[in-house]
Amino acid sequence: MSASVPIQKSKQRIAKLLDSLPPESLTAVEQFVRSLRHAQTDEPRYPTVSAPVKSLDAWLNLLAEGYAGDALADTEALYTES
């Protein structure tokens, strides 16, 4: 049995697992595989997950309408509340 046979079987098992995942999981799998590849190099890693523009709609209603936002005041409020 050559060394490539176990590798080929492993690739087949991995392919079956990938086929069983929901499509939205594939981004995480891709990131993981890329991180494994980068771990073997001295290249810096800056992972980025792309998201559809439509996903920004969920942010629209997080704050009350008319909220101007004051990062300093908001941060201070976090530390002065008891």
Q: CA 25, CA 31: separation in Å to the nearest integer?
A: 10
pLDDT score for 28: 92
Entry pTM: 0.42
Contact 49, 31 (CB under 8 A): yes
In the chain, where the domains are located = 4-80
- Which sign does the torsion angle of CA 63, 67, 73, 79 carry? negative
- Indicate the pLDDT class of residue 18, thresholds 50, 70 and 90: very high
Residues 28-80 have pLDDT tens digits of: 999 999 888 877 776 666 667 778 888 888 887 787 777 777 889 888 888 88
